[in-house]
Each structure stands twice: as C-alpha cells, then as structure tokens.
Chains A and B, each alone.
Chain A
C-alpha cells in the first residue's frame, strides 16, 4: 500500500491533517488504534483559555504572543491559528451535518458553563452551545435527566448562581429515558433526541415549567445525526435560546466532529483504518520508508511518501512512561523531551497546579520535523502534530483543540507546499 500520506492518529490533529490533504488531492490513510480525542473533548475549539500565569484569557490570538517560545503555538503563530479555525468552521458547515455549524472565532473567547457549573473560555463552539455564553449574565433553567448519570443539573445551577457574574440559574430534572433503559449513556440520549417523538416529549414536559425570560440548558445530547434540526426544534418549540453543556465522555459533540471529518475524508477519497497499531518503521537515511502495523490479527505494511504523527500524548497512548521512569514516543520511537532526569521529581504532591511532567513531548524544528538526540532534524518525511508535541499543558491552558487543529492543519500545508505553511498552497504529492 503506497498512499501519499499516512496519518497516524484519528484525533482532531490527525483528522484535520488528513481532510486537508485529501481535499487537496493527496491519497491519505489514517491509521489509528481507536477513535481519538474527539470523543473525550467538549466538542468546542478551545484555543487558549488560560495564560502562563493561569489568568483567564479574553482574546486568545493576542495572548498567544505571551506564551513561551517552545510552546507548540510558537510553530504556528496567531495568523496560522486563525486560518486553521476558520478552515475547520468551513469544513463543518460544509459537511454532512450542515447546516450544523460552529460560531465564534479565535479573536475572542466566550464563556460557557461546564457540567459542574464552572465557566470555561472557548473560542469557536457549536451553534448548539453558543446560547450558553454567560458574559453579561443570564437567567438559566438547567434541564437534566434523572437517568443520565453524567450530568447533574442542580449542581450546575447552584454553582452558576454562586460563581458566574449576573447569572441566576435553577434546575429541572426529568424522568425520561430513551427506550426505557435503566442506565442510558449520553449517546443513547443523543439518539433519543434524533427521534421526533422523544424530543416532543421532552418539550412537553419542560415547556410549562419555564419562566418567561429564561434560557434553557441541556446536557450536550441534542442529537448525533441531526443536531441542527434538533436544536432548532427545541428553540422554536420552547420559544427561547436553548444550549448544550458538555458532559463527561463520551462526548456527543465530539462524536459529531469525528463523524463529520471522517465523512469529509471519505468524500475526498481517504479512509480511516481503526484497530491499527504501528509495530515498526523501516528507515532509509533520514526518511521513513515504510510503516508496519497490526490491523486486528494481520500485519500490514504501508509505504507512504509522508507520515503525519498525531498519536496524542500520555492520555492517548502516543507517549509512555514506564516503571523504570523512561519516556518514549510509542509509534516511531522518537526522542521525548522535557521529562525530569532519574532521581528528580516527576510529579508533586499538590494535585492542582503544574507538574514537572506536564510539558513532556516530542520536540520538532519549525517545519514540525522531529528533532534527534543531537538537536538536528531527524526525519525528513515525518511531521508531528497535536498533543504529541512538547511544550504545552493543554488541559490547564484549555489549548488542546487549538493546538491539535492548528498543527494538524499546518502539517498538511507543509507537506503540500514543501516547507511553507501557506494555507492555499496544498498540492498533491502523489509519487
């Protein structure tokens, strides 16, 4: 198998690179152990929520300049981030769930409630969440379901009333279960909402319980297949703004992203091959010539021109730390930077706050090529993107989506254009 590009990893970074390359005409295979970070995320595109001093960021693009040079955003720059976010919005709006779309941009953060009733800064968000922007205050009725164990409306309402400026919230809990199941997941509820009868029943139970000027929050389960239709229906029938609040994983909005990008990839001739674990790579000089992988029970070999490594960090399994305290990059065995040397502390006793292991990852040159132990470019045809990259603590910065999207998008551009990162310069590299 000789595709132009093999992308390893099916998270936001890998899928963004794959879609951009495939739509530019390259033949692309995405090899992934399983579905990626999308299913664990909020489904929002968070570019930068908190700066290096843990202060909330209002204008992410401006704040990027304040990050340390070795931060992954240093590779991309503000203009690159903005271009990538706009590209993503365009692809979703043009995808199979259209007119489901994202709103907002990387210039300005909005503040959305979380499932514990904190507020979290996000840059671009699904239209189904935008009504939850709490800047300027609001009256909110948080609706939940007794049987959905991953969302507690009273907790959300209590904390929002307590902590969010000008927000007055209360809650309503419904005893409605899709298909009568005892322990339905967020996904089961999303499928329920895709069904006319279920959402009509929800409306019927909620509508009389709302005060005139209240917005209505639901857990982020307003449809998997047709979220725009579900959300519009709810807004129309309830005659007021309706918005989703992300729940614990698996994330329905994240699944929408995964499905949409996957379908765009197929539309452009690419494919995602799941259940695939990279077991080895043949090198010749400074190039990876072939990748061996186990796909189910079979061993297969790919011989791509280019490899985009987007396997994620420690949480995704792209990076590992073993019991002898040695770190490694799992797929290609690239050098990993930033881990404290043996004998020094890797973690600290205080949970909240920074840990010495936070920013460990693969270091690259400006063209996202991995650096060897000697600090020089190690591989010519491998580009690294997303959470594998060293230098960020994305869960704290709320920067993971932006880093994944911008570095994945840029990796595609670099492959298309040699070593430039101009967005419109993607050409096929078919050999």
Chain B
C-alpha cells in the first residue's frame, strides 16, 4: 500500500473543504484534500445559489446576519468571477404581515446592511413578473454565486500552492496514535486501491457527513443534523433580482436567478441519512405553490430539474442546544474542538455554516488548527484572489454568449442550450481525464439546459470515446449512467414542456439509438481515471 505524508489532511471537497484547503495552502501548509466523489458533488453543488446579503437572518439569527454582511462584501472582492451582482428584493406578499418589514428594517440597521424601502410600483418595474399584490418591498445586496465555479477555483488555487486534491477517494478509516488522529486510510473509488495518508492534522470539512467521519475515531454523538431542502430550477430567468419573502425564514420563500435559470427554494426537513434524500410529490407541489406566491404563473413556466441538498446544521447536545424544528437551528457555524470535547487531538470538525460564509469558516477552522499546533500564521483569503478571478470583474450573464458569438462561424457548438463549443469540451475532457460525463456536466454545465442533454449527451459520448480513448463498453456505461443520473432530477417535475422534452429524449435515446439494447458496459460509468488525479480545473468557464 502506498503512503503519503502531509501536514494537513482536509476531508471533504465542498465549499468548506475547498475553502479550507485554499486557506491552509495560502498560509504555507502542505495540504491533501480528499473527497469521496467529485468536487462540490454534495451539499455545495445542491443549493439554490444565493449569496446572502444577510437580510434573511437580520430578525431571527443576528449572528448569522452579521457574518453574511461581512462575507458577502469580501467574496465579491476575492471571487468576483463566481458572483453575479443580481441585487435582491425582500417583498411582503399578501400572505405576509407587512409589519415584519419594520422589524426587517430595524434588523438591517443594526447589522449595517444597506437596504431601502422602495415603492411597490418601482419593485414591479424592476421585476415585472413579481406578484402585483405585494405590499412592501425592500432592496438588499443579495447576489447569486456559482458554487461549482467557486469550489473549483479554490481547489485550483490550493493546488497551485502545492495542495494535492484527490477526488473519488473515500475515507475508510482514521489512524490514531494514542489519543491523537494521525491521518486516514482512503480508498480510490475508481480503482479500488487503498492509500494511507499520514497527516499532522486532520480537518473534517465533510459537512452533513461529519458525524460519519469522526465516528471512525471513536467519537459519537456530535450534533450534525442533516436538514434536507429541495429546490427546483425553472427554465429562463423569471426574475433578474433575488426575490425573498419579507418574513421569518420559511419554506419556498427564495427565488434566485443564477446563470441561465431561476431556482425556487427551499424546504427544511430533518433527514436521518444525508445520502437518502427523496423528493416527494408533496414537496414539489408545495414549492410550486410557494413560487406562485412570489411570481404568479410560475406553475406554467417550465421546470427543468429538481434536487435535494442537505444542510449540515449544528446542534450539539454538549452545548445544551435543542431546537424542535430544523428551521430554528442557527445558520452559523462552529469549530468542534475534539481535544476539549472528546479528548481526541489532531482533529477538528467544522459544523454548520453556509456557502456565503465559506471563507470565514475556513479561516476559523485553520486558525483553530494553528492555535493547537502552536504555529500561528495569518489568514490571507480576504485579500488574495484564487484563479479565474484575477481581473476583478463580477460575472455577467451574457459573457458566454458574447464569446460564442465571436467564434460562431469557426466552431461546432456541442451543447446548444449552454453554448459549449467542441474545443472547450475536448479540452475539459482531457484536463479532467474522466470517463464520467456527469463530471463534465459539473465542470461545463453540459446537459443542464432545457433539453437536459437530449442532444449534447450523445455527442459528448462520441467525443469522449475519441478523446478519452474509451472502448465501446466504457462509452456505453458513461452514456447510460448519465441518462439515469439526469432522469433522477427530472422525473418528479415532469409536466408541461419538460415532459414534452423528456418524451422527445425517450424517442431519441430509446427509439432512435436503442441505447437500452446496447451491449452492456462495464461498471457504473465511472471508469478508470488517470493516475494521480490532481485538480485540473476546467478553465475560466468552470461553472455552476
């Protein structure tokens, strides 16, 4: 068995883990990051895309609000290419108490959050699809953030500072020397090979899976509650401003315009297992009804895809917290010091938190590690831009179209929905060295538009077959696994035009191509990947 050594092992390749790897690498630590799957494949890739202004929490959760206010401003500065400055509106729908608006204003003043009440007519001019019966409207500096692009950028940045990023590597055990965690054994999920990682310190950034990790060090009962939320992506930008209901945080009260879609979210249901997140018909209906309240006619718009994410809510019995409802659990984060709590050294867990505060979470966790190591080094993430953000320009929705229009006479467009050209696709396939079309989807948004891969996925299979030197069995496995994965996000919301599209896709894949009658492919579509699979990011068009 191979053994590698590092100063810091980071477990989890979501927003937190990538942030921690970037932070620690910037401070000059030698870092290895492992994730059991692709980067941002867990919670970070399954949220609504809202970069909170803090307005959502000013009344209910002032600490979370203060953090959001500060971090929102910092992230706009350091990862501008991942952020679209949509602005936000908090609106009182006919079902909301207009008096909440006063508490909201008061909370914003206290938190130093710039807001302004505007006339309803002005709000409707800004967003013509908004419910015309809203009673009050307030502006807030909400934005949308591309989590995949963010995570990839941070991971690339970490790699440029020497970090090794091992995706598709599951932690199968933690090593202990007496009461000190000294690393982990990980398994390459693609090759099945195991690897020992000797680490001076282990940082558990596995979010909703944190309890599963520390259990390997014999630690029980840490209070990470998986809180399930579902979200539905609607075709097109129904709004260009983030719309929040001006009320205590509740289900289905946020509509976020991100990239080419709008996302309505979300629910909050305590979940027993972070890997079991079924989407029910009731939740879909509830989300659509909630969306109608904000934007009448949302039910007639085209729903593209539904997914569930799982928040890593923090509620530790040791801390004496107890909340009846997951909505009432604070959205702040906490560093769990296992040396104090459990007498286990060399291990810290990050719990709670949100994408908006990912940088602060990383800073807090690495600070705590530095204190324990007695090796204090200053955090630099509030000042240094990770790769892809160098020019300091905020992301603009039209940038991909602008580039495409410039080259449209020269190049094949493989995915018409998301305007992905062949050169970019081939380049990404080569750099990622993957056989998994779903990895390519996360890198480029391939197959995420209205046709959900109806046309481009056949093409991508053909191209990957050539570029990746796949044999027929591997190509078949990639294609069928993508079709199944795509279906998972579609079948609960199949109505209207999306059902029409899905049926057309059935005709193409099952009728015309006969995919289900291809000689079977090996494995699950996640075949062997190049050795030493460090992060090779998909260039400036990395995504969400």
Contacts and interface: CB of A to CB of B under 8 A. Distances in A.
Contact of B516 (A159, A248, A249, A352): A352
Interface stretch (B72-80, B172-180, B495-503): B495-503
A263 interface: no
Contacts of B461: 116, 152, 155
Interface stretch (B34-42, B143-151, B325-333, B405-413): B405-413
A66 B466 CA distance: 42
A114 B513 contact: yes
Interface in A113-134: 114-120
Interface stretch (B195-203, B249-257, B504-512): B504-512
Contacts of A325: 495
A236 interface: no
A40 B491 CA distance: 23
B465 A158 contact: yes
Interface stretch (B3-11, B93-101, B267-275, B478-486): B478-486
A177 to B, nearest CB: 10
A120 B410 CA distance: 35
A115 B512 contact: yes
Nearest to B302: A323
A314 B414 CA distance: 26
A62 B411 CA distance: 50
A116 B513 contact: yes
Nearest to A184: B412
Given A118-B518, A317-B500, A152 B463 contact: yes
B424 interface: no
Contacts of B496: 320-323
A264 interface: no
A120 B299 contact: no
A86 interface: no
Nearest to A398: B511
Contact of B491 (A161, A322, A347, A395): A347
Contact of B488 (A150, A161, A349, A352): A349
A182 interface: yes
Contact of B508 (A249, A346, A394): A249
Contact of A343 (B281, B299, B508, B512): B281
Contacts of B494: 321, 346-347, 357
B217 interface: no
Nearest to A344: B281
A64 to B, nearest CB: 19
B338 interface: no
A351 B500 CA distance: 16
Contact of B465 (A119, A155, A320): A155
A313 B499 CA distance: 11
A158 B512 contact: no
Interface string A136-160: 0000000000010111101100110
Contact of B410 (A119, A182, A355): A182
B499 to A, nearest CB: 5
B427 interface: no
Interface string B458-492: 11011101100001110110011001101110011
A248 B300 CA distance: 29
B458 A248 contact: yes
B511 A394 contact: yes
A316 to B, nearest CB: 8
Contacts of B466: 152, 154
Interface string B410-432: 11111000000010000000000
B506 A395 contact: yes
Nearest to B485: A351
A346 B508 CA distance: 21
B475 A314 contact: no
A314 B499 contact: yes
Contacts of A322: 299-300, 495-496
Given A162-B473, A314-B499, A315-B507, A120 B465 contact: no
A41 B512 contact: yes
A294 B516 CA distance: 40
Contacts of A158: 465, 471-472, 475
Greatest chain B CB density within 10 A among A348, A398, A400 is at A398
Contacts of A152: 459, 461-463, 465-466
Contacts of A348: 491
Contact of A321 (B462, B465, B499, B506): B499
B533 to A, nearest CB: 24
A42 B411 contact: no
Interface string A35-73: 000001110000000000000100000000000000000
B515 A118 contact: yes
A246 interface: yes
Contacts of B29: none
Nearest to A358: B506
A317 B539 CA distance: 40
B495 A323 contact: yes
A81 B507 CA distance: 22
A396 interface: yes
Interface string B186-226: 00000000000000000000000000000000000000000
Given A117-B518, A118-B514, A248-B458, A351 B483 contact: yes
Contacts of B513: 114-116, 118
A228 to B, nearest CB: 23
Contacts of A209: none
A154 B496 CA distance: 37
Contacts of B462: 151-152, 154-155
A116 B465 CA distance: 11
B300 A182 contact: no
A246 B491 CA distance: 28
A99 interface: no
Nearest to B516: A352
B374 interface: no
Contacts of B500: 314-315, 317, 320
Contacts of A249: 508, 512
B403 interface: no
A182 B465 contact: no
Contacts of A115: 458, 512-513
B503 A315 contact: yes
Contacts of B515: 116, 118
B288 interface: yes
A183 interface: yes
Contacts of A246: 512
B320 interface: no
B297 to A, nearest CB: 11
A116 B422 contact: no
A349 B483 CA distance: 12
Contacts of A197: none
Contacts of B300: 322-323
Given A115-B458, A159-B519, A321-B495, 10 more contacts: A42-B511, A147-B412, A149-B414, A150-B455, A150-B459, A151-B462, A182-B410, A346-B494, A350-B484, A351-B491
Give the 8 A-B CB pairs with smallest separation, nearest first. Answer: A152-B462, A163-B519, A158-B472, A351-B487, A395-B511, A315-B503, A118-B514, A347-B491
5 contacts: A118-B513, A149-B422, A321-B496, A322-B300, A347-B492
